[in-house]
Amino acid sequence: MTTPATQTPNSTARAATIKPKDRDGVLQALRAGVVPRTGVQLVQVGRVGEISQVVQDIERIADHGSAVRFIIGDYGSGKTFFLNLARSIALQSKLVVVNADLSPDRRIHATGGQARSLYAELMRNMATRTKQDGGALASVVERFIMDAKSAATASGRPVATIIQERLLPIQELVSGYDFATVIERYANAFETGNEIIKAAALRWLRGEYNLKTEARDALGVRSIIDDASVYDYFKVMGRFVTLAGYAGFFIMLDECVNLFKLVSAQSRNANYEQILRIVNDVLQGTAESFGVYFGGTPEFLMDSRRGLYSYEALRSRLAENSFARNGLVDLSGPVIRLQSLTPEDLYILLGKLRNVFASGNPDAHLVPDDAFSAFMTHCNQKIGDAYFRTPRNTIKAFLDLLAILEQNPGTDWRSLIAQADITADQAPTGGDIDDEAPTPATQHPLKNTDSSDAGSPDDDLESFRL
């Protein structure tokens, strides 16, 4: 294994000391096999072109534009890590970011509460530059109120009047009137110190009311955020955060392969139709200061029977540049395909991991550069090229090695490397998601008569029940 000529582990080491919180957060997450929520920039390697596109997207959103991307890569290629890196960049650029993983209980479109569950999860995870760990919804609302109070003080006008005027653009949007009313209720409670109304308003904004009567009794509004209105409220929230003084609104949805796993063609198509609405709004320029990133596997995108390409309108919009072949790439389209790391990238990554473990202090490095080559050679002998293509277990093993060396001074790193047991990272084997409604009594129990599944015999077979 040779060291890359243009960059060495030492050249990537940070001169500044790494904060203990950032160090521990990165190391604990990576040793557990998950992506760290913060500090991802400390271990980022490669993908300069892809990151450049992210920066351009964020600049476009901050300039009242919009962006939509589908981050596509094989299992273990780093989709979640890339999305977290994009999240970190967006937060530093003063965007409000919400993120969530799709699951059987959280989808873009549903009729059984799954879409509202996704909305609620996104709102709970709302983050800003000053509250990067989520839970920033109240802070965003209160920033809007404080800005209105400052304007009222400067102009000598009532705060309530300023707030009503600033919320007029919200009321023009679909589902915006009740949203504006709830913000006004929160502002009044903020002034009077009524914590009960504030809590009720936040509960409504997070989509946590199940019944309209509950919301009417608590806040005097006649609607709630439900499955049918989730995307409309995404756009309303996007407009509101800009009124609160932020640069834009960024939604990140990972694990989109769960849409591909839906057995019912009707459910899949309904979700794909919502994705089409987002793509159309962004590409046509009707969404302002608004961005959405989807993370998924190649089959989620390209499978002609169950993936996005099974929906013809999406297939035409997401088709890749026909000239991007034979080594040529085009990263300007909606789809960004993440390539696997190279051995050189992994070599540099091991150097960054060593640096993070030492809190940025080169004098505290536990292994020399020679250990990287020896470790990578051992991994290659154990699992072949999977050690750098899907490096989750490789990274975990290396950090375990450093942990032993830290807690057992004088231990020979060569003997530990020879003992390292490395296994290839395997994709999860979760089955399909069956969310079909119970079979009506008048319908034959063995026959699927859903007209939306016509022409999809495979789906009928997969939903076959006794």
- Total of domains in the chain: 1
Residue 226 lies in a domain: no
Q: At what angle do helices 392-407 and 370-383 cross, to 10 degrees?
A: 130
- Decide if pLDDT at 140 tops 70: yes
The pLDDT mean for the chain works out to 86
Residue 29 covered by a domain: yes
* Helix extents (H) in 390-465: 392-407, 413-419, 457-462
**Checking DSSP bridges between strand 66-72 and strand 96-101, what pairing results, if any?**
unpaired
Distance CA 452, CA 435 (A): 15
Question: What pLDDT, on a 0 to 100 scale, did the predictor assign at position 388?
Answer: 78
Question: What's the token pair of residue 275?
Answer: 């994705």
How far from chain centre, in Å, is Cα 400? 28
Query: How do residues 213-237 score in pLDDT, each as one tens digit?
Result: 999 999 999 999 999 999 999 999 9
Burial class (CB in 10 A: 0-12, 13-18, 19+), 378: middle
Burial class (CB in 10 A: 0-12, 13-18, 19+), 81: buried
pLDDT at 60 over 60: yes
Do the domain assignments include residue 381? Answer: yes
- Does 187 fall in a domain? no
pLDDT in tens, 245-297: 999 999 999 999 999 999 999 999 999 999 999 999 999 988 899 999 999 99
Query: Does residue 380 fall inside a structural domain?
Result: yes
d(CA 4, CA 11) in angstroms, rounded, equals 11
Per-residue pLDDT at 202 exceeds 60: yes
Using CA atoms, how far apart are residues 67 and 57, in angstroms rounded to an integer? 6
**Least confident span in 98-102, 125-129, 362-366:** 362-366
> Residue range 308-319: average pLDDT?
93
Give yes or no for residue 53 having a pLDDT over 70. yes
Give yes or no for residue 381 having a pLDDT over 60: yes
CB 25 within 8 A of CB 11: no
pTM of this prediction exceeds 0.75: yes
Stretch 197-201: mean pLDDT: 96
Instruction: Look at residue 376 and tell me if it is in a domain.
Output: yes
**Can you give the pLDDT at residue 77?**
77
Token pair of 226 as six digits: 């439900």
With bands split at pLDDT 50, 70 and 90, how would you rate the model's confidence at 148? very high
Task: Please state, for a pLDDT cut of 90, what percent of the chain lies above it.
Answer: 62
DSSP state of 33: T
User: How big is the chain, counted in residues?
Assistant: 466
Q: CA-CA distance, 414 to 391, in Å (whole number)? A: 21
d(Cα 90, Cα 290) in Å, to the nearest integer? 12
Domain span at residue 35? 1-42+341-421
Confidence of residue 427 (pLDDT cuts 50, 70, 90): low
Q: What are the residues whose beta carbons fall under 8 Å from the beta carbon of 440, sequence distance 6 or more?
A: none
Q: What residue has token string 């993983």?
A: 101
Residue with the bigger pLDDT between 240 and 48: it is 240
pLDDT value at residue 157: 93
66 occurs within a structural domain: no
Q: Which residue bears the tokens 């129990």?
A: 445
Burial 269-278 (b: 16+ CB within 10 A, else e): bbbbebbbeb
Residue 27 resides in a domain = yes
CA distance 348 to 345: 5
Looking at residue 445, its pLDDT comes to 36
Q: What pLDDT sits at residue 285? A: 86
